[in-house]
Amino acid sequence: MKEIIKALKQLNSGVVLVAVASEAHKANAFTAAWVMQVSFDPVLLAISINSEHTSYDIFKEGGCCTVNILEQSQMEFAAHYGQSGVTDKMSLGTWVASECGVPSLQEALVSFECKWLNEIAAGDHQVIICEVLVSKALNEGVAMLYSDTENMDGSAELVAEIEK
């Protein structure tokens, strides 16, 4: 694995499923590691999303998402929702509609319901700033780390080597 890939994974973000839905589109979800808290008051999260993902347009249309924190043993969830163009993508797990209509994952450690506020272009991704409206602690456990997923996201082929 490239040195830069190993180094970036030591930033040690967790792994979540971001679920989205809109009136025009049924629910979808994708695995994400680039999600972080960026404010206390109000509680804001930044979600970095590739605008080519199916979830991006749905999120923008619907204006709401849930951020569902995975437990370290839930690799099957990370792998399944890390794939694009899967028929019946939401078939894995128990998804229950949240107040804004987007499903939340009942097997997650925590599920946040969030409202889209604005977006910032960031290289090949868009950073969505969203406000946490509801926080539900659902299960006990230890959160999965991005580094636990090794090259599941194919990042070894996506990142440019950085000069030392």
Ligand X SMILES: Cc1cc2nc3c(=O)[nH]c(=O)nc-3n(C[C@H](O)[C@H](O)[C@H](O)COP(=O)(O)O)c2cc1C
Classify 3 as helix, strand or coil.
Answer: helix
Please enumerate in sequence order all residues whose Cβ is within 8 A of that of 102, keeping only pairs 6 or more positions apart, or say none: 19, 20, 21, 27, 62, 64, 65, 66, 113
> What's phi and psi for 61, nearest 5 deg?
-65, -45
Using CB under 6 A, pick the residue from 14, 19, 21, 31 that binds ligand X.
31
The least distance separating ligand X from the CB of residue 146, rounded to whole angstroms, comes to 6
| Interaction between residue 151 and ligand X (CB under 6 A) | no
Report 77-106 residues binding ligand X (CB under 6 A): 78, 82-84
Six token digits for residue 21: 């839905």
Using CB under 6 A, pick the residue from 30, 77, 112, 116 that binds ligand X.
30
Report 56-75 residues binding ligand X (CB under 6 A): none
| Interaction between residue 33 and ligand X (CB under 6 A) | yes
What letter represents residue 4's amino acid?
I
Name the residues that contact ligand X, by CB under 6 A: 15, 28, 30-34, 48-50, 53-55, 78, 82-84, 125, 149, 152-153
